[in-house]
Structure 1
Amino acid sequence: MTAAAPSATRRPSRRARATALVVPAGLLLLALAGPIVAPHTIDTPVTAPFAAPGNGASLGGDQLGRDVLSRVLHGGTLLTAGALLVAVVTTLAAALIGCVAVLRPLLGRAVERSADIAILLPPLLGIMLIALAWPGGGRWAVIAAAVVLGVPYAVRVVAAAASPLATAGFVEAALARGESTTYIALREILPNLRSTILTLFGLRFVEAVYVISMAGFLQIGPQPPASDWSLMVRENASGILLNPWAVLAPSLAIALLAVTVNLVTLSLAPDTTAKAVTRA
């Protein structure tokens, strides 16, 4: 007896998924192109310190009377670019190393051990260590720390997803033909991990946003008077009762950026749910 899968478990149609991407894509574009539409420069006082919204400042003023909206629109470009760089480098490295690791047991064990050590190391401690070892590295030191801390765990995720494929028939056939490890990893295994790679990219981006934001809040990376969302939260915390938007606006921007990219990657991930009927 066969039974069709319940319609409630079906993924949305391509048109519905494309429509759902409009808002997240718009928010991501605004984070990258914000400086173009900002009404004021980031360092020009336009109102009184911690002034309420109004009088040419839609979200009020910060601790120096600068326009909060303009600084929010300027503050997401470098954060988004840095998080994208971390996510791309981490995901590519994890995809390549993870697929090779399942074909080379010795490398696989080394990856597993390094991932165990990296998971135990607090991200903040790793950032501080790399920042101290790279004086003047600024934002690049934070990006390097995020990559170094993220690659071992990401490799382990890819290796776990690729492990069942290492014994698949098409891989064994490629081995019998005498294909190289690199060929099998890139041409036989990696194309079957599209959903895992896209999901991993989204998770690494979200992680990078929070790691870079945490470093910025601790002033490891961007320094005043730079316009950075996490730095804005730190600088304006003392005036949150006078103008809450000086703290809430950059905080919400960080959360929206992380959620937006995560929704985009989930929408673009291939459908790997079982479409076949169940047999009884």
Structure 2
Amino acid sequence: MTTIVARAVARSSTGRPRTLVTAAVAVLSLVLTVAGPLVAPHSLASPVTAPFAAPSADAPLGGDQLGRDVLSRLLHGGTLLVVGALLVAAVVTAAATLIGCFAVLRPVLGRAVERCADVAILLPPLLGIMLIALAWPGGGRWAVIAAAVVLGIPYAVRVVAAAAAPLTTAGYIEAAVTRGESTAYIALRELLPNLRSTVLTLFGLRFVEAVYVISMAGFLQIGPQPPASDWSLMVRENASGILLNPWAVVAPSLAIAAVAITVNLATRALAPETTQKAVTRS
């Protein structure tokens, strides 16, 4: 037993610096993305090179299809994407956590939520985005964000409910029910604290999904429209000149992947080691 505890503590002590580094990298990438417009060397609309010009001193990543600085547009293009993805991830995770916790405590509600989720999951994401974007007055980025929230909640609810269901038979839940505690109290004070790992991991996955959905919509020009600076729009607009200046396409693609991956890794690293804690307590 002592050996098991010692090994668990050793893993925790060696893993903490790695966790902090991962979280710091994720925060740094988000800060750089949001603060990018402040350090952009050129304006968004002014051409500085020939169309699809190679990298130079004035344009380190070359020019786009209109000769605009790729680096400047790259620094401007991620702010709204990251803010939108964070908003989607936060709303979906919060809503799914609350619905999932209440659903496992109230069987009638749980069955209704499960049936609704089964139907909603069958809807293809792209079709759902197009339907909501077309129905939304004026369309635009808010329509895409709304679509991402609506399409993300059903799956997230199933994840939370699956993680919370085994906890409903735990002794502390049964004790709370015996004391006559309300469903809201049991869900928020008893279940939720024991779902931290699931909630953090779910937030990371929903952020990645939101980046994917918003980027896909931007690539299809559902949401941001030219001449707006957006990473997904940059990929679409410059695809024809990828052989002349690959950075016009590769740079925004790498930026999308880097932001999504670092945030997902950070949330996984920050998630509590529930299995390790259980071993330590035993």
Counterpart position of 1:68: 70
| Cα distance in structure 2, aligned partners of 1:20 and 1:204 | 18
Counterpart position of 2:269: 267
Counterpart position of 1:204: 206
Show the 5 A alignment for 1:164-175: 164-175=166-177
**Contact 1:3/1:277, CA 8 A, preserved across alignment:** no
Counterpart AA for 1:271:
E
Show the 5 A alignment for 1:10-89: 10-11=11-12, 12-89=14-91
* CA 1:165–1:259: 2 relative to 1, 3 Å: same
Which has the higher mean CA deviation after the structures are superposed, 217-226 or 13-22?
13-22
Counterpart AA for 2:28:
G
Name the SS of the counterpart of 1:116 in structure 2: helix
1:273 Cα shift?
A: 2.1
| Cα distance in structure 2, aligned partners of 1:215 and 1:20 | 29
Identical pairs, percent: 76
1:93 aligns with 2:95: yes
Runs of 4+ in structure 1 off by over 6 angstroms are none
Q: Deviations over 1:28-82 (max 9, x none)?
A: 2111111111111111111111000004000000001110001011000000000
Counterpart position of 1:158: 160
| Cα distance in structure 2, aligned partners of 1:94 and 1:277 | 30
| Cα distance in structure 1, aligned partners of 2:211 and 2:242 | 23
Structure 2: where are the runs of 5+ without partners?
none
Q: Deviations over 1:123-174 (max 9, x none)?
A: 0000000011114120000000000000011011101100011121111111
What is the TM-score of this pair, normalised by structure 1?
0.94
1:145 aligns with 2:147: yes
Aligned length: 279
Name the SS of the counterpart of 1:40 in structure 2: coil
| Cα distance in structure 2, aligned partners of 1:186 and 1:277 | 26
| Cα distance in structure 1, aligned partners of 2:246 and 2:15 | 41
Structure 1: where are the runs of 5+ without partners?
none
2:218 to 207, 210, 216: 216
1:274 Cα shift?
A: 3.2
What is the TM-score of this pair, normalised by structure 2?
0.94
**Contact 1:4/1:278, CA 8 A, preserved across alignment:** no
* CA 1:151–1:63: 2 relative to 1, 3 Å: same
Counterpart AA for 1:46:
V
Alignment root-mean-square deviation, CA = 2.0
